[in-house]
Amino acid sequence: MSNLFKVWIGLLALGVLLGLYTTFQIFTIGHGELANTTQLLPWGLQVSTYIYLALTSTGCSFVYCLATLGGVDKLKPIVPRAVLLALLTIIAGFTSLSLEIGRLERLAIEFIVNPNLTSPMWWMGVFYTMYIVVLMIELAAMIFHIEWLMKVGSVAVLITAIAGHSTLGSVFGVLEGRGYGFGALTPIYFLMMAFLGGASLILLVSCLISIFKGSNKEFDEAVTTLRKVFLASVAIAFLATVWRYVVGVWVSDPYYDLFDLGFNKFLKFSLLLGMIVPVLIVVFQKKAGIGLALAPIIVLVVQFIDRNTLIVGIQKIALLQGVWEPRILPYTPAPVEISVVIFVMSIIGIIYSIAEQRGFLEKIKH
């Protein structure tokens, strides 16, 4: 185990410890008391992190399905990695969400005893539970080489990923009263953006493996294909983002202001920095390495911020605002919310890094 790896694991372990302490505080003092969410702005950084991670997980599953169902054989070396990352990111996402819920202890029982079939959130819970179970089965099938189960599992992963993630989009899509987030386009927008997150994370991980483990032919070929997948995912995300904003500027009056306020920033940030710069990097950097890794890093950071802008932005325009009330509601995440994000990210990092370092993922062949 190299010293660098030890430092890396040490840092992540610190993140997990910080998170455990935060969790203890949340359960003893109360999340509402510690977080900066308010009566009027109830969903903050933790919810946007959940959506970001769910998005990334779905994207990882899409890339995985491209290899298994799409017949892109060159992606085979990343198959077990994609499944593990999909599983870790969705579990981390749910951890972030759970730590925001007021009465967590009621969640499982009430979801079963009192289902509300008109609620997208209920369906989201159902589909994501199925998704997590299917991913676990798929990983087990890979470890134990159960061929037929792997095939069936791939189809099930694809179906549950689409169902879960588009339902997550509809959680926001039905919010008719909030122009910035509402719309039938939202579930489709979420699906289109998902591919980008997953392709970026897998490209980043592949570059890091090449840097730290040295390159081999099979892996280099996978990276070449991943570059193309990444470019395709950016193209899809670009379309989805542009259309969303075009629709956005046409929605009713108060929301126009928000688009107007954010439009300049959006052009520079989401599209130029978050998509065009990474595309240029990927076009000119053909080999796996630090240069190429920069592209997915930029995308992942910009997407993280973009998710927060979207989720908080939905709530930022005060509903039925009066003359004396602030037109745009303020929100900055509190330390407790940031700690939860560090916590869940560290969980993903630590489990994945150890699995990779121990060669666990290399032993699994699809």
Partner 1 sequence: MAIDLAKCVGCQACSVACSMENTRVPGENWHKVIFMNEGETGTKKFTWYPRPCQHCTEAPCTKVCPVRATRKRKEDGVVLINWYKCLGCRYCVMACPYGVRCYPEVKPLLEPDIKEVYHGRRAKLWDPPYQLSREEQDGKRGTGIPPKGVVTKCTFCAHRTDRKEMTPDRDPVKDRDFTPACVIACPASARYFGDIDNPESEVSKRVERKGAYRLREELGTKPQVFYVK
What residue ranges bind partner 1 (CB under 8 A)? 30-33, 35-40, 42-43, 101-104, 106-107, 110-111, 113-116, 118-122, 125, 171, 174-178, 314-315, 318-325
B/e letters for 47-76, b = 16+ CB within 10 Å, e = fewer, are bbbbbbbbbbbbbbbbbbbbbbeeebebbb
Q: How far is the CB of 126 from partner 1 (least distance, A)?
A: 10
Q: How far is the CB of 99 from partner 1 (least distance, A)?
A: 12
Closer to partner 1 by Cβ: residue 37 or 68: 37
Residue where the block lists tokens 């920095």 = 273
Give CA separation, 183 vs 32, 77, 160, 173, 180, in Å.
Answer: 29, 39, 22, 5, 9
Q: What are phi and psi of 354, to 5 degrees?
A: -65, -40
What is the sign of the dihedral through the CA atoms of 315, 321, 323 and 325? negative
Closer to partner 1 by Cβ: residue 73 or 325: 325
Closer to partner 1 by Cβ: residue 4 or 112: 112
Q: How far is the CB of 86 from partner 1 (least distance, A)?
A: 24
Closer to partner 1 by Cβ: residue 22 or 68: 22
The enclosing H or E element of 69 equals none
For the chain, how many residues are written?
Answer: 366
Closer to partner 1 by Cβ: residue 322 or 359: 322
Q: How far is the CB of 72 from partner 1 (least distance, A)?
A: 37
Q: How far is the CB of 309 from partner 1 (least distance, A)?
A: 16
Q: What is the DSSP string of 232-273?
A: HHHHHHHHHHHHHHHHHHHS-HHHHHHHHHHHHHHIIIIIII
189 neighbors 173 (Cβ within 8 angstroms):
no
Q: How far is the CB of 358 from partner 1 (least distance, A)?
A: 38
Residue 212: how many CB atoms within 10 A of its CB?
A: 13
Closer to partner 1 by Cβ: residue 214 or 322: 322
Q: How far is the CB of 253 from partner 1 (least distance, A)?
A: 12
Closer to partner 1 by Cβ: residue 247 or 319: 319
Which value, to the nearest 10 degrees, does the dihedral of the CA atoms of residues 316, 111, 169, 79 take?
130
